Structures are given as C-alpha cells and as structure tokens.
Structure 1
C-alpha cells in the first residue's frame, strides 16, 4: 500500500477532537479515514471525492483493503457520488469507529455551525472514558450492530418547555462527536447564572437548591 499523508485537519472538523487524537497519538487506518472524510461537514463534495480518491489510489492492489477499494470505486464512480442507496454498517459511509474525545461532564460545548451552548453529559472522568471504550470494544467483539450514529454523545441544552412556554428546561440530544467543539460561556450571555449552576451540579460541585432557584425563576 502506498503511503497516505492526509492531515487530521482534513479528516476531522472538530479542533478539539483533532487535539485529542494528537495527544493520544491515534493513527487511523485507510478505512477509518474514509469514514471520517465522509462524515466531515466542512468538506465540499469535490474535496471529499478528491480525498476518497487518494485513499482509493493508495490501497489499490492491496488484498487487505479489497473490500474498501470496491466500496470506494462504487461510490466515486456513481452518477452523482452523493448518495448511498443502501445501509450497511460495514460500509465506510455507515461504519462506527472509535474516536478519542477530550470532553467531560459539565464542559460547555457547541456543534460546528451552531453557536448555541450546550453542556456535555456523556463522560464523567478518565475512568469513565476508558470504561466506555472497553464497553464498545466488547460490543463489537460480540457482533453488535454499531454504526455511524454511535459516534455520538449526549449533551444538554437549555430550551423552552413544551408544556409551559414561559418556563425553561434542559433537554438532551445526541450530536456527532466529530462536530463538537468547546464553547466559551461569557458573563453577559443569556442565562449565564443558570448555565453555570447546571455546570457545577453536573460536576458534583453545585447545589440542587441553587440550581432550582435559578431554573424556576
């Protein structure tokens, strides 16, 4: 196989994730690189095709990557190159891969392209981080159907209550880790005090009484 020299900055949109990959010295296989490129929202369609073609040329003739070569050939040579007509968790467009991340519970985050601040709530500490990796590895060994949607995390954001429009509440959603960045909460931001109280509560430092006082104002 020819050498692949695609920088992390082309593979991954999130600067925070890139930094963690470098810290952990995470090396991605050609298949994993194809997964990341396909999931990168900052790449134009032409940029994505160009990078996938680089991978395809590098693995051509290597029996270890015969299936990936076939997938890339089919994708690159389709009429529009934009759509996979089927879903298969072993296809690079749908596959799960393990992605290092630096976020811990209580961190303020936002998704790329959306400045709305949310609070990370998927991983308590380093022990929890390693436990999560081991859990997913065991699932894969058992043949569990993990796919791209499992490269995600849980975050909580402050929203208007469905039942009481005049009341605020926290609701969770599951963005891709690949699109998550740290967010800076400023003192003049709307609901600053409430968000800080929620952060402290999630990090085990706050008071439920104080949190409820601000939430129910």
Structure 2
C-alpha cells in the first residue's frame, strides 16, 4: 500500500511540474490587478462540483491576501445571486472540461447584465467554448486522474489548486502585500498571532533604522 501511495504522490507531483507556464499567467495577474486594484472591482470566482470548491478556496485566499474576491455558485446565479456581479469585476471560472453547462450559462447571463466583463478561465480543454471565450486562458495540461477509475477529480483539482496558489502569490508580490496588511484581515487563530508578531517585529526594526 505504501508503494501505491508513493506512486499517487509522484504522479500528482509530475502533473504539477508539467503545468504549462505561459504568458497567460501574467495576463491573468495583470487583468485581476487592473479590475480589482485599479478600478476597485472584485474577482468573482465560480465552478461546479470539485472545481467549484477549488474556486471557493482561491477566492477566499485572494481576499485574505489583499485582493477582494467572492465565490458565486453557478446555479445560485440563476436565482438572483448574479446581482453580486458589478461592471468593474472580473470573472474567474474553473471547468476541467471547459464545457460545464452551468458555467457557460453564467457567462451568458453575466454578459447580459454587464456586457464585456472579462473572463479568466482555468481548464484542461483548450478547444472548449470557455477557453476560446476567455481573455486569459490558463491550461492545466489536462493530466490523467490518479483515481483508479480515471473519473473522480483528483490530479486535475490538485493542478487547479497550484495554479491558484501561483496567481495568489504573484498578486501579493505585485501589490506589495505585507504581514501588517495580512494581520488586519486575519485576526483569529495561529496565523493571526503569527502575522501580528511579524508586523510588530518589522515595525520595531523600522523604528531602529529611523533612529
């Protein structure tokens, strides 16, 4: 069993290393920066099923690191929640197939509400309608799932998560996000304590430099 577990980890690690790092990563970061930090909009993330859970995680991580983001469930968007979308926002959509019906419908409805809303799409299908509609398309590399049935989202969701982490870190660097700013957003738990400690140490060092 340990050998089988090791093989799963190795296969997923290889999929991560095989993610195509293209100019679209940079384009996505610049687009988020333009819409959220310059035009004061927000990132609206969406996805169905497991991809939706990854989208939610990316949205909450972005929010805690200085880039306001929300998660919009594609089904709920058809029952009034689409109203959360505003004209300066950017849609951030995840669909491994690139043809998830609910996500395509979300794009169509958002276009009616705010024509020309930019789209960032993460998908394993570069020929899909979502990929071709995107202003910035990030390809996962379409790795094979480690699921023994080849069905359950496993490797694909790992890769999606890592792509999200890369975007989060790139944005943190671009906006110069600090421990002090993190502490303002994350008050509870170990991370809240750690960020406040880091901010306090940094301030003490800056005060010493001024003297």
TM normalised by structure 1 equals: 0.25
Task: Tell me which protein shows more helix as a share of its residues.
Answer: 2
Greater Rg over alpha carbons, structure:
1
